[in-house]
Amino acid sequence: MASQTGAIVQQSLNALMGDSTFLPNLQEQAREQAFLSLAAILSTPNKVHKAFLRITIDNGNVVRIPAYRIQHNDTLGPYKGGIRFHESVSEDEVTNLAALMTLKNALHEVPFGGGKGGVVINPRTYSAKELYLICKKYVQYFSDVLGPDKDIPAPDMGTGEREMDWMMAEYKSIHPGQPYLGSFTGKSVINGGSLGRREATGKGVYFAFRYMLHDFLKEQRSWLAGSTNPFVQTALAHADRPLSIAVQGFGNVGSVAALEAYKCTYLHNKVVAVSDRNVTLYNPDGLSVPALLEYAALHQGDLPATEAALVALDIKAQILGREEVLYLDVDVLILAALEEQIHKDNVERVKAPIIVEGANAPVTGEADVVLTAKGTIIIPDILANAGGVIVSYFEWLQGRETQFFSEDQVYKMLYDKMQKTLNSILPAYFGDPLPLRQNCYNHAVMKLSTMLYRQGKLY
């Protein structure tokens, strides 16, 4: 497991060791041995699968492409996690993301374990036919370890419902006569996917922020008013006033979160900046997110990057470098791009007092320490971006029962589940000085540790 997740898990175990109410039957030497077992189990994956996919590309050449499927832990249920197509994919990255999925599912009480997949390609440089072959080969190479009750992949960066449809079809061909609808989630609706799945992560990211800054603070204001907790003070300082929001990343997660912020009637939001792989667009008076979405839909997801394109859209914005979105003087920064965007070398330039992690691990451990010391609220990935796996669970259930929910039902169930998690975490966060990330990890590790103990896996 990469150092950031592993270190925070160890911190959680250290805190739980001194909690006499946690696993009270374990005392003295037996307790020490059990916690050593927990550290070993949670710090390593159960299985690491690696293959080199043999693909004949359009020019007739044969290439070998590295691919991974990491199965971290299945204590709570079948492995679950996306498949990422990106040139930065590595075994260490995928292992870390699989561990994060284990903890995320435990935190939100989704009955899945943690898994993750990756293929080392830039999907933009491959034709549709080549991507189809890559998807087929991925399923062929890993078919023995995938399945509705074993390991259930979903989309991630660089993949979407098209790729999941292709993969499910290949799984069906390899396993004739066996249940197949639950083998992959994030599929198109016509192929058994769930309504609302594509938007689920982005909607959940914005909901986590909105619920904290509006619903929770509104209900708990009298209790919080006298607190000296720096995170409480940051939250109260930004309640009931206009908020400027910047969004890094304009893909499935960032674009949906930006639209949710733009449309929100609970908070007085103004989306002043968005960015993609090429550019940051900034207007302190606010951007028209719907117009930018229409443009991106027609240009392979890219934002307008020239003055001429902005004029044609009748959008006023400054064109800045793609990383400048991180350093703008805004109230809220939503990180919905890649890992390690805020790190030790740039953290001092980050001004936003509230950060929401729509991507996985966009703030490094070193940067997290610096921001936390400043009183910055960081709504972590484990809490904020779970919408995708929650609705994937709903899709998996629908596939097993062949009964399908409406889009409104899906969103209501998503918000209800996230609200339950937030209500279990936020009182502790605002009641003590621990960062929100650590509170979430403590909760998840406690759930996993209890299950491992009950299942007799600590001996």
The Cα–Cα gap between 49 and 68 comes to: 6
Q: Where are the beta strands (DSSP E) in 114-242?
A: 114-119, 151-155
Of these residues, 116, 136, 203, 270, which one is catalytic?
116
Q: Is 186:155 a contact under the CB 8 Å cutoff?
A: yes
Tokens linked to 103: 């903890």
116 is catalytic: yes
Q: Cβ of 297: how many Cβ atoms within 10 Å?
A: 10
The Cα–Cα gap between 140 and 137 comes to: 5
DSSP code, position 125: G
Q: Is 274:280 a contact under the CB 8 Å cutoff?
A: yes
Strand partners, 282: 273, 318
Q: Residues of 345-357 as b/e, b for ≥16 C-beta within 10 angstroms?
A: eebeebebbbbbb
Amino acid identity for residue 136 in this structure: K
| DSSP assignments along 9-78, one per residue | HHHHHHHHHT-TTSSTT--HHHHHHHHHHHHHHHTS-SEEEEEEEEEE-TTS-EEEEEEEEEEEE-SSSS
Q: CA 92 from chain center: how many Å? A: 17
Give kind and range of the element (H or E) at residue 312. Answer: helix 307-313
The Cα–Cα gap between 21 and 424 comes to: 17
The Cα–Cα gap between 102 and 159 comes to: 21
The Cα–Cα gap between 171 and 152 comes to: 11
Tokens linked to 102: 């284990």
Counting beta carbons within 10 angstroms of the beta carbon of residue 28, is it exposed (0 to 12), middle (13 to 18) or buried (19 or more)?
exposed
Q: Is 234:378 a contact under the CB 8 Å cutoff?
A: no
Q: Are strands 79-85 and 280-282 parallel, antiparallel or unpaired?
A: unpaired
Residues listed for the chain: 459
Tokens linked to 48: 């690491």
Tokens linked to 71: 């199965």
Closest-CA residue to 385 (of 238, 227, 230, 251):
251
Active-site amino acid positions = 116
